[in-house]
């Protein structure tokens, strides 16, 4: 008596292999999604910091530091970014507070970068 065994995989073996593959792919896709999110955040932080610094230099080199507020955008180069500049008093009368806020309109939450400088009013 000889038994013929069919070579191949059983349905249970295939289902277990598919489950292991699905778990591994979900983990890989989750890591990829997190990587893209972190890349977007770091790109925003870098761009917003440079834009805020350029706007701060403009405000700092202005002729006088009078209390005022301004709003604007960065033109066609950065259409999704806007800025808000505020120059105000501090508790010490010889110092002025300059605050630049850069916002990315495409971000639902977050997307705000603030830069703060205290400068003597006479200089």
Which tens digit of pLDDT belongs to each residue from 28-45? 999 999 999 899 889 999
The answer as to whether 102 is a domain residue is: yes
pTM above 0.85, yes or no: no
The answer as to whether 70 is a domain residue is: yes
Per-residue pLDDT reduced to its tens digit, 81-114: 999 999 999 998 889 899 999 999 888 877 899 9
Q: Which of 6-15, 16-25, 69-78 has the lowest mean pLDDT?
A: 6-15
Helix locations, the chain, DSSP H: 11-60
Average pLDDT over residues 53-82: 88
Nearest 5 degrees, angle CA 26-CA 31-CA 35? 150
The answer as to whether 2 is a domain residue is: no
Q: How far apart are CA 104 and CA 81, in angstroms?
A: 5
DSSP calls for 78-94: EEEEEEEEEEEE-SSTT
Range of the domain at 87: 11-120
Question: Which CATH number does the domain housing residue 19 bear?
Answer: 3.30.1300.30
User: Which pLDDT score is estimated for 82?
Assistant: 94
For the chain, the domain total comes to 1
The answer as to whether 4 is a domain residue is: no
The answer as to whether 84 is a domain residue is: yes
Q: How far apart are CA 87 and CA 118, in angstroms?
A: 10
The answer as to whether 3 is a domain residue is: no
- Between residues 18 and 40, the one the model is more confident about: 18
Residue 26 has pLDDT above 80, yes or no: yes
The answer as to whether 22 is a domain residue is: yes
H/E stretch holding 69: strand 68-74
The answer as to whether 5 is a domain residue is: no
User: Which pLDDT score is estimated for 4?
Assistant: 62
Report which DSSP code applies to 17. H
User: Which pLDDT score is estimated for 2?
Assistant: 59
């Amino acid at each position: 008596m000889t038994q013929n065994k069919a070579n191949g995989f059983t349905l249970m073996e295939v289902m277990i292999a598919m489950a292991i593959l699905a778990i591994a792919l979900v983990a890989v896709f989750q890591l990829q999604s997190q990587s893209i999110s972190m890349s977007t955040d770091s790109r925003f932080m870098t761009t917003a910091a440079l834009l805020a610094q350029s706007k701060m230099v403009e405000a700092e080199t202005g002729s006088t530091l009078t209390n005022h507020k301004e709003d604007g955008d960065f033109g066609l180069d950065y259409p999704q970014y806007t800025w808000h500049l505020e120059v105000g008093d501090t508790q010490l009368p010889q110092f002025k507070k300059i605050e630049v806020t850069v916002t990315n309109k495409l971000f639902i939450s977050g997307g705000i970068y603030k830069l703060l400088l205290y400068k003597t009013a006479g200089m």
